[in-house]
Amino acid sequence: MALKISSKIVDYSVVKPDDAAKEQEAQAPVVKLEEMHEKLKRPEFLEGSTYKIKTPTSEHAIYVTINDVILNHGSDHETRRPFEIFINSKNMEHYQWISALTLIISAVFRKGGDCTFLVEELRSVFDPKGGYMKRGGRWMPSLVAEIGEVLDQHLKRIGMIQDEMDDHQRAYLEQKRAEFMGVSAQSQASAECDDSTEVYPPGAQMCAKCHTQAAVLMDGCMTCLSCGDSKCG
């Protein structure tokens, strides 16, 4: 389509594709995203997950419930963030400090921002009476540290923490584990191994990185079948 210019041309400029895109973005309506902050009111309904902790030091199990709030529901920016935590048990021995811990953690959740630091803080707590070995060969320095493990598991489920091990690494470890179990001597009978290490091969050593009794000698070096740590690099 031809346009007739009847007036004198005094100036001109070339419109670049990037400039056109920026102009469209400037004209687009600004969408105000809902973020986590301490003034956010608690919704009537929250989705949650409950995790069971059974330690060899107590007859009764501990149940950890973490409720999440859905921000920007139904939009492309929908996110799920932890909002509150509850810890319950029939064992009333730890009632006071567990109640205080749930209040503090819930306050950190509602404050907004990055709450993933709580995982390492809780994991670093050691019981002066000594830790315990979980079923599966995982050593826990304290009950607080295991609550940190539960929080780590939950934050990975909702996408706030990325798992260090990808599917390829997991498949590789499963293959190595199957190979090791295939070449293990029949003398390493399951009867000689306690229940806490039955998930991993008998005779496995403690991994210095993940504290799981899952390190075995493979291809000339110690390799952990839980986290993949290897002395060979």
- For the cut 60, the answer to whether the pLDDT of residue 121 exceeds it is yes
Does one domain contain both 144 and 53?
yes
**208: in domain:** yes
The residue type found at 136 is G
CA gap 108, 113 in Å, rounded: 9
Q: Round to the nearest angstrom and report the end-to-end CA distance of the chain.
A: 67
Does one domain contain both 125 and 65?
yes
| Segment 69-99, tens digit of pLDDT | 999 988 888 999 999 999 999 988 889 999 9
Does one domain contain both 74 and 94?
yes
pLDDT at 200: 74
CA gap 190, 203 in Å, rounded: 10
Does one domain contain both 51 and 153?
yes
**82: in domain:** yes
Does one domain contain both 75 and 135?
yes
Does one domain contain both 51 and 152?
yes
Range from 2-11, 24-33, 212-221 carrying the lowest mean pLDDT: 24-33
Does one domain contain both 130 and 51?
yes
Kindly state the average pLDDT of the residues 106-125.
Answer: 95
| Segment 8-58, tens digit of pLDDT | 777 777 777 776 667 666 665 666 788 888 889 999 999 999 999 999 888
pLDDT at 189: 40
**58: in domain:** yes
Does one domain contain both 152 and 227?
no
**52: in domain:** yes
**33: in domain:** no
Confidence of residue 157 (pLDDT cuts 50, 70, 90): very high
Domain count of the chain?
2
**184: in domain:** no
- In 53-203, where does DSSP find H-type helix? 95-111, 117-123, 143-157, 167-183
**Tokens 């730890």, located at residue:** 94
- The per-residue DSSP string of 74-89 comes to TSTT-EEEEEEEEEEE
Does one domain contain both 142 and 52?
yes
**233: in domain:** yes
Beta partners for residue 206, in sequence order: 213
CA gap 62, 71 in Å, rounded: 29
pLDDT at 184: 56
Q: How far does Cα 148 stand from its chain's mean position? A: 10
Structural contact between residues 134 and 140, judged by C-beta atoms closer than 8 angstroms: yes
Number of CB atoms found within 10 A of residue 69's CB? 22
Nearest Cα neighbor of 217 from 197, 196, 231 is: 231
Does one domain contain both 140 and 74?
yes
Tell me the residue range of the domain where 229 lies: 165-179+195-233
**53: in domain:** yes
Q: Select the more confidently predicted residue: 131 or 205.
A: 131
pLDDT at 138: 80
Does one domain contain both 119 and 72?
yes
Does one domain contain both 52 and 151?
yes
